[in-house]
Structure 1
């Protein structure tokens, strides 16, 4: 609880940071028009391989910390109905899924990632925890939602059509589904049965790894599998974050879009971009703000200004 008590999200004003960054000549290249004649970008398969290698290098899990602050930022995950279903998109090594499973003893998580290595690490991390009945509540599967979309067993075409006609509480009996065959995802696919949609979608530091031109498609996929009234919980890198400013000019692969030396990518969002992406896909905006956190590097004593974008979006009833 001590660590949670020390967490703040308004340590400084984003507008003031913006002014400081944009008035610094050494950082001006971040805001220049991007040259579209740059070398071709990696293919989707190369993107997945880059993330596979990333998770192999960080296989011990020390690179990731359990995101316990998420339940404070998204209390809906604690107050939701019994047997609510969460679709965690881009689960990584499980650092987001674990605190959610700890926080609610009957919540069900379907977790996908484009990296097989990430899914293995997540499975190991979750099953090594002391979370009760985890084998019944955590279901990882491989999926690159920005390219192939989500599998139909999450919400088939028929269910997606019925979403527009049925009341929210009549779409699916989640408890009954859980007690039948939730562990066997392959049989769900073979029988062409679906779980009737999800109550929550979490996009936690995931969308920034998707190429900008594929983001609208990816968000529409999230919209399609949510039940009416369902929530999408968003958190990702914000404009002028310390990480962005550390990228060298040659790492730019688009406007506010960068490629690391290991082949993984990162985009840095402003609130207007996030708003346009989600409302343009049909979502209703409930919350949207910058989280500005100041911390100190223990080794060199330098201050670090972290900027993230926090958002909550709802699928209309």
Structure 2
């Protein structure tokens, strides 16, 4: 029986032979051995610096950063979305998705418990503000727009040492963001709040051995309500985390959420945002009959998901009075090196500051 590593190695060999079939020098054993050596014991580059400059090398890593799409790929994605965007859901079906949204998420967590989502250890590369005292995370590297060079983003320094730091995550699920922050940050003045629409998710999180009431407090909240019932005052939070959660909310209710976020952040407070972008793999995989409205879909488990453009994200926050510090489109190419599959992901990432 082949092991997983041997399967991956075999896949890489076949890939190099396939990609180089018109180049006889690429198929000799010495070349294949050299290419395989490049994949062994390779040191992971800094965050966001694995750039695919030669498609023949696609299987050297299992992910590539800041992948550029050509017009043909963009056109194919647009056509796919046009095909799956016909709204065929009945009024009763749409009503059920809305009224029973909390029950659908409870069912999701009842099935998956804490096994579905992985802890987000990448948080401190993308959002070092969450744990400025954690200095071991890889630093994020972004490509410069007008040339082929890259620039490294400096990590923030905590200017108010000894001051209370309050972080609030909306849509905390079972703790895949909160627990890594608590693990990597040793700041004794840090306290994290979290909320989720699903009471089942909160129950699972509170039963986790990492849940420490001295450092965090999680509770059930429907963030789309006009008025929030929360254990903190307005204008008190340093950071609000909004990661892959706004996409689960009906677009007509998103502005209400953003306005309340603005209300509870302190002046100078920060929102860190990351969510699905238009033409992400998840959107292209939808079949006909799952579309609720433009770029808004119902998954098979009855949870919902929206796919954003950069312009939409920018407008949502600016209309609520935020200053935009970051708004970027993160295109990743994920590679299954064993099955030789390529998967294109598209995420929107932003940082928004409440004015002083």
| Superposition TM-score, scaled by structure 1 size | 0.77
- Determine if contact 1:269/1:309 at 8 Å carries over to the other structure: yes
Q: What is the deviation of 1:37?
A: 7.7
Structure 2: how far apart are the matches of 1:5 and 1:102?
Answer: 23
Residues 99-139 of structure 1: CA deviation (Å, up to 9, x unaligned) = 111222232110000101111222233xx23x8xx321110
- Determine if contact 1:108/1:138 at 8 Å carries over to the other structure: yes
Residues 188-207 of structure 1: CA deviation (Å, up to 9, x unaligned) = xxxxxxxxx21110001000
Residues 66-97 of structure 1: CA deviation (Å, up to 9, x unaligned) = 10111111111222444300010000110011
- Determine if contact 1:114/1:144 at 8 Å carries over to the other structure: yes
- Determine if contact 2:81/2:283 at 8 Å carries over to the other structure: no
Q: Bigger radius of gyration, 1 or 2?
A: 2
Q: Which residue of 1 aligns with 2:33?
A: none
Give secondary structure in 2 for the equivalent of 1:135.
Answer: coil
Unaligned runs of 5+ in 1: 164-196
Change (3 A) 1:56 1:18: farther
Change (3 A) 1:237 1:4: farther
Q: Which residue of 1 aligns with 2:115?
A: 62
Query: Which of residues 99, 105, 108 in structure 2 aligns to 1:51?
Result: 105
Structure 1: how far apart are the matches of 2:199 and 2:270?
Answer: 27
Change (3 A) 1:116 1:286: same
Structure 1: how far apart are the matches of 2:128 and 2:320?
Answer: 24
Change (3 A) 1:115 1:24: closer
Structure 2: how far apart are the matches of 1:18 and 1:101?
Answer: 43
Alignment partner of 1:229 is 2:268? yes
- Determine if contact 1:17/1:240 at 8 Å carries over to the other structure: no
Q: What is the deviation of 1:21?
A: 3.9
- Determine if contact 2:124/2:131 at 8 Å carries over to the other structure: yes
Aligned-residue RMSD, C-alpha = 2.7
Alignment partner of 1:138 is 2:216? yes
Change (3 A) 1:62 1:16: same
- Trace 1:3-22 onto structure 2 (pairs within 5 A): 5=45, 8=48, 11=64, 16=69, 19-22=72-75
Structure 2: how far apart are the matches of 1:287 and 1:152?
Answer: 28
| Superposition TM-score, scaled by structure 2 size | 0.69
